[in-house]
Every structure is written in C-alpha cells, then in structure tokens.
C-alpha cells in the first residue's frame, strides 16, 4: 500500500494590500527588496515553486491581480513540508521583513493567509488559492484550508509568531 501523505506538499497563500501603488516611495523599502526575498526563498531547501508575476525586475508577484487591484500582493508558494516553510519564514531575513509589514501594507482586518496540502507536482492557481482562503474564512481551520495553529508540526511558529 502506498502512503498518500508521503506524496503531499504544502501550499500557502499570503495576501497583502500595499499602502500605496508599487512605484510610490512609501512602499519602496518593500519593493526594492522583493526580488531579493523571493530569490532567497527559491534557494531554500524544501522550496518547490512560487507563482511568478511579469518577470520584470522588482515586480515579482505584484502583477498577479486580485479584484483588478494592483495594490494586492499575493504570495503563493509550494513547499516540501511544514518544517521547510517554517525555516524560511522564521530563520531567514524574511522574518525581518515580515516584522515590518505594517510599514508597507494595510491592515486587512480579515483572514489573509491559508495553507493546504497539494499532491506532489501540483501547482495551484491564484483562483484555487483564493478559494482555499475563502473556505478558511467561512469554516475556520479544516483539513482543506488551515493556518499555522492547525499544524502540530509547526514548532517554530509557536515560539516566533507575533502575538498581535
């Protein structure tokens, strides 16, 4: 018998809405480092895939529109495991940019992050990811759409998360 879970990977979507358009000086600190952070993620052990934008330098995922609003920035990636995603989020320079998110992003007031399991080789679309986010908003954490608290494997999250 084949163990199905061994063939699964972890997809995640994190949506933010910039305080200003991408060429505005108020978000320059984020925009100038976006390619650097994404590049770091792509080199991490356990990284599998990320949705790409236009490919233009400094644009990264900012051309993947949500509701035709260019200020939304979706980050959609796939990782080999919870542990590999955690290592990127909590053990690299990404953590410093995450801590500064209020400088560049609006407070959305609603859930804007979701994870779910995908079969090895599956590359989710932005529509699929947004559907998972809506599922989590409507039903809370389930096996189909969840946050860090749902994952017993998420040990770094428990000690590094921002309690606010």
At the top level of CATH, the class of 4-160 is alpha beta
pLDDT of 49 over the 70 cut? yes
Q: So what's the pLDDT on residue 53?
A: 65
**Rounded mean pLDDT of 87-103?**
90
Q: Tell me which residue has tokens 């529109």.
A: 65
Q: Please name which of 94, 99, 83 lies closest in space to residue 42, comparing C-alpha atoms.
A: 94
**Which two tokens mark 114?**
């979701």
Q: Please name which of 37, 50, 113, 108 lies closest in space to residue 79, comparing C-alpha atoms.
A: 50
* In the chain, where the domains are located: 4-160
How do beta strands 47-50 and 72-79 pair? Answer: antiparallel
8 A C-beta contact, residue 12 and residue 79: yes
8 A C-beta contact, residue 144 and residue 133: no
pLDDT of 33 over the 70 cut? yes
Q: Model's pTM, two decimal places?
A: 0.85
Q: Tell me which residue has tokens 């954490």.
A: 141
pLDDT tens digits, 147-161: 988 887 776 666 666
**Rounded mean pLDDT of 41-57?**
80
């Amino acid at each position: 018998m084949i163990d199905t879970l061994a063939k699964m990977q972890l997809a995640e979507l994190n949506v933010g809405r910039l305080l200003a358009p991408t060429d505005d000086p108020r978000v320059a600190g984020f925009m100038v480092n976006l390619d650097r952070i994404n590049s770091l993620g792509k080199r991490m052990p356990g990284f599998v895939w990320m949705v790409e934008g236009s490919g233009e330098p400094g644009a990264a995922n900012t051309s993947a529109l949500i509701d035709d609003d260019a200020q939304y920035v979706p980050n959609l990636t796939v990782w080999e495991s919870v542990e590999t995603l955690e290592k990127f989020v909590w053990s690299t320079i990404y953590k410093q940019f995450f801590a500064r998110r209020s400088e560049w992003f609006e407070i959305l007031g609603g859930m804007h992050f979701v994870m779910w399991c995908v079969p090895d080789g599956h590359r989710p679309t932005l529509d699929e990811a947004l559907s998972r986010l809506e599922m989590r908003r409507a039903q809370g954490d389930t096996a189909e759409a969840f946050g860090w608290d749902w994952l017993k494997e998420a040990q770094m999250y428990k000690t590094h998360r921002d309690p606010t």
